[in-house]
Structures are given as C-alpha cells and as structure tokens.
Amino acid sequence: MPHTLRRSIAVFLLCAAALLRPGPVAATELTMATVSLTSEDFQLAMAWSEVLGRQKTGLRITPIATGTAKGLRLLSLGRADLSLIGAPHYLDALGSTGSFKEDPPELVEGYRRLRVLFAIDTGMGQYVVRDDSPVRTLADLKGRRVSIGRPGGNAGRVSTHLFKVHGIDPDRGDVKTEYLDYGASLDRLGNGQIDATLVWGSVPQAGIDQASRGTRLRFVSPDPGSLPALQAAIENGAHYVYRTIPAARIAEAYGGRVASDGDVRFWTFPFMVVVRADMAEDTAYTLCRTFWDQVEAVRAGSAALAMVDPANAASGLSAELHPGARRCLADIGAL
C-alpha cells in the first residue's frame, strides 16, 4: 500500500475515533418564568442555575421575565418549565378569579396539573414614609396621599383592605390612593409629592436602599392584631401572614438610613416554585435537593435572598407537592 494512502487512512481513523469519543454532555436547559429582570425570583433563578452547574447536575436554568400571571400561563402551556406563584394566587388561577378571571378552561385545566417543588420566603408588602413625617401608624395615613403599588397589581387590592381594617377607607376618600411603579413612587415620596408608598420586595429592597441615600426613610407597620380581619377581608386570605423583621436587621440592611419604631411587620404569603406534574421525579428531586443543599450559595447570590429558609420550604402550600420534591423535602427534614 502506498505510503500516502496509509497515511490518509491513519488520519481518517484518528478523525473517526475523535468523532466517536464521548464529549461533554450538554446540560438540560430549563426555562423559569420570573416577574422581571430585577425581581428576586430572577436573581434566585440565576443563583440556582449556578449551583446546579457547579454541582455537575446536568441541569441549567434560564430565567425569562414574564410577570407572575403570564409566567403561570406559559408553564401550563408547556412554554416554561418552572415558575413562581403566591399560594393565594394559585387558588385564584384555579377559581378563575383575580388576575386569572379571563383565562379559558383549557388553561385552568393546565393549572390543575401543576405541582410544587418548595416554597420560599422572598417578597413582602412594605409601607414607607419620610423619616420627618408625623405618620407612625397606618391609621395616621388618613387624609394623606399614598401610592399602593403597580397599576393592576395585587398589592393595591391588599392595601385597600388593609387600610379599611385600620379605619381608613379609600372608597370614602379617607386616604388618597394612587397606582405607581415603585421607582416613581419612591421619587415622589422623596420630593414630597406623596406621603407614603407601598414597596414590594425583601430586605434590603433595592429601591428603598437607593432612595434612602438621598432622603432618610422610616417603615410603618400594620397593627399586630389586625391580621385576622385582613385575612377575612381578602379572597384566599388564610394564606396571608405578617412577617416580623427585627429592628437590628433593618438598621444593618440600610446602614441606619431607614428608621423603624422597633421591629417591623410586613404582609406576605408563601411563594411556591411550581412545575408541571409530568416533570421526571429524578429531575424534580435534583432541582430541589441541590437548591437546599447549596442554599448558602443561593443566599450569597443576592442580599434579597438572605431570608430563604428551608424551615419554611413546605409551609402554607396551596398546591400538591411533586413526588420528587416530597422525597427531597423529607430527606432534608422539611416535612
């Protein structure tokens, strides 16, 4: 056999061997619907994906900004693999109420096939005023101008009920409410155009942190005994709670720029990470177990995730756990 032919065959065999040699397995990419590019759940998805990669699980998460209701619809339709939904809002979806009242029956049927991986502590409804304001309680907002959240959002509905529980009725004009995005609300609060605003988020909350660098702020809490009345007033209100944040944590989070009259109470509800029931049990287990085994790394991904706690991973759920998640949460002692 001529030398050149032997060399050509040798080169061919080497190339064929290289093509047949197993290469790195591409990670399975999962899409997670989140509220926005700056939301805590977007940051959570990024941190979660990082630890999944670091632990060589073969899974990766790509977050997309959709909003809560649209995200659940995408998950139901198979166009996303994970999403987050508040426990009471999932019941809204099942009952075609609230933000889901126009959804067709086939979407509602899809909602019934969703399952929970775990619940997380993240966003909370927080009321803030300027530190030089005379307002010390929610009742003190009578006759004042208050922003109660984004247009069309659930926060405005909850705030309206909460104000009524505290003896001020926006429908009677006791308090002048308006809907504004959080950034615009904090700007208007800083220049005195409004007297208070609701902001949604964790501690620290990025908008409050930024605003407090120009104007000292102070939190105003709901009365601790008002929760039963608020729960009774809101549809699916049993899932709403007050979360108490120690004054020392507030001071540390904002470097003393945001004051509080002692410990602070914010309203909230469990946020559930949900998937479709047809997700493989081993995939659900790996997602759940890696998240909680690496929760310190997840928390380190953003200050807004510092409150994520495995002790609450199965608390206040309004949907059924995925079998893989049930096994995971049992293994880590959360069930």
Average pLDDT, the chain: 89
Q: What is the CATH number of domain 124-268?
A: 3.40.190.10
Q: pLDDT tens digit string along 156-175? A: 989 999 999 999 999 999 99
pTM confidence score? 0.75
Enumerate the H helices of 79-221 as residue ranges. Answer: 87-95, 105-112, 154-165, 182-190, 206-211
Q: pLDDT tens digit string along 124-133? A: 999 999 999 9
Same fold, 28-121+270-331 and 124-268: yes
Position 179 scores a pLDDT of: 93
Alpha-carbon dihedral sign for residues 46, 52, 56, 59 = negative
**Residues pairing with 83 in the sheet:** 33, 274
Position 26 scores a pLDDT of: 59
Share of residues in the chain with pLDDT > 70 (%): 92
Q: What is the CATH number of domain 28-121+270-331?
A: 3.40.190.10
Side-chain half-sphere of 191: how many Cα atoms within 13 Å?
Answer: 6
Q: pLDDT tens digit string along 64-95? A: 999 889 999 999 999 999 999 999 999 999 99
- The residue extents of the domains of the chain are 28-121+270-331, 124-268
